[in-house]
Amino acid sequence: MENCIAKVIAVYGSVVDTQFSAGAPLPSIGATLKVCIPPEKEIGLQVVEHRGKNICRCIALGFTYGVGRNMPVGLGGQELAVPRDLSQLYGRVLNALAKPIDHKGDLDLSDSVPLKSLECAVQAEVNLDAEIKPEIIYTGIKMIDLLFPLLKGSKSGLLGGAACGKTVLILEIIHNIISYQSGTCIFAGVGERIREGNELYHEFSRADLLKRSIMIFGQMNESPGMRFEAAHTAVALAELMLHQRKDVLFFMDNVFRFVQAGSELSILLGRIPSEGGYQSTLTSEISQLHEKIRSEKNASITAIEAVYVPADDLTDPAVVAIFAHMDNLIVLSRSLVQRGLYPAIDPLQSSANSLSPSVVGRRHFDAAQDVLRHFRRYDELERIVSIIGKEELSADERIIFDRAKKLQNFLSQPFFTAELYTGRPGAYVSLEDTISGCEKIMSGALDKLDESKLYCIGKLESKNVE
C-alpha cells in the first residue's frame, strides 16, 4: 500500500489495533486511517485511543471481514466533505462517510467543504445575545398542534416502546411540514431496519418530497462505528446548513439506537460500564450530539427525534439522559394503540415547554388546559367505571366522562403516510379547526352525538354531526 504508516496487530470485532514504527508520530484522536483488503476492498478506521508501544486503537467504519494481522495501514485520505453547493445533496441517500449509497452516481467534490472541521468555525460565530422570537411550526396533526406545539429551533422527542407508532408519526410530521411549509429536511436513520429506510425513500418519492430532503443512514445491518457516526454526520450537515443561514428540519430515527451503538463500542473498547449497564460516557455522548442542534437569529435547526423506550420503561437510564435535552416530550401509549387511537399520544405523561399564553395565545392555551383537565378527570373516572360501572357516576361526572371520550376520538386522525394500510385519506387540520372542534365538544354542543362519529376524522364538519 502506498503511504503505509502502520500495520494491523489485532482485530476484536469492530475494534482494530494498529502499531506504528518506533519514533513515528501517532495520528490524532479522531483521525481516519484505512486498511486495504485484496483485491479492491477498503475499510476506514477512526482512531479513538493511544495505547502504549506506539499502538492506536481504532473503530472500524465497516465490517472487518478479511482484515488480518500485519496488513498495511495507510492514511485515510481527505476528511468527510460535501459539495459547497448543497443542492447536489437534495434527494440523495448518504452513509456515515457522506458517500452516496443510492446508486445515482458520485458527488461532484471539485468545490467541496469539510464537514467535521467546520464545527469550531461555526461555533465561534454563534451570537448568544441574539434575540430569537418564538415561531410555531404547524404539523397539521391535531394532538400535537393543540397540546405540544413545535417551536422553530426546539428539540422534541417522540417516546414509545416497540410498535407504538413512532416511525409512522415522524414520517407524517415530515410529510406535513415539508408539503405545507418551507425548510430543508435532513433525515438521520440510525440503527433502524433497512425496510424502514426503503419505505421512507419510496414514500418521499411518491409524495414528491425528495427535492427538499437529504437522507443519511447507518442502519441496523451496519457496524456500530457506522451507526454511531451516522448521527454525527447528519448533525454536522445540519450545522453546515445553519452556517449558510438555512432553516433545517432535523429528524432522527432513532436516538436510542445511537446510544446502543455507543454502548457496543464501549464494550469492544474494554471500558467498564456504568451501574445501569450503559457506557460510562452515556451523558457526554448525548450532550455532544445535541449541543450542536441550536438556533441563530436568521436560521435554526428544529429537531424531532424518535426515542425507543425499552420495555416501555420511561425510567431507563438512556431514556432519562435524553430527556434533559428535549423541549417537548411526546409519549406514546401502548394502551391507546390497543384501542386504535392514532396518534397514540398520552397527553398526561407528555409535556411541552412551548404551551404558554405568551407563545400560543390565550385562547389556544385555555382550550388546551380545558382538554387536559377533561383527560385527567377521565383517567380518574375510568378506574371507577371499570370496577362499578358507568351507571354509578353522578350526572356531572358522566357528562365529563362522555365528553373526554369524544375528545379522544376527535383528536385521533387519519395519516397521509398510512393511507395504504388504513384505506382512509389523510387529513391536514389547521389549528383553528382543531380548537373550534374541541370547544364545541367541551361546551356540550355535541353531547347528543355518538362518539364513533368523531373517530379518525379531520376537521369537524356538518356531515360529522348529522
Active site residues: 166, 192-193
CA distance 238 to 455: 38
Grid coordinates given for 289: 450530539
Instruction: Please compute Rg for the chain using Cα positions.
Output: 25
Query: Contact at 8 Å (CB) between 259 and 216?
Result: no
301, containing H or E segment: strand 301-308
Give the count of beta carbons closer than 10 Å to the beta carbon of residue 443.
11
- The type of residue at 242 is L
Determine the Cα–Cα distance for residues 168 and 2; give it in Å rounded to an integer: 48
Q: Which of 163, 185, 189 is nearest to 175 (CA)?
A: 185
- What DSSP string runs through 226-279? HHHHHHHHHHHHHHHHHHTT--EEEEEE-HHHHHHHHHHHHHHTTPPP-TTSS-
Cα distance between residue 369 and residue 155, in whole Å:
22
Q: C-alpha cell of 429?
A: 387540520
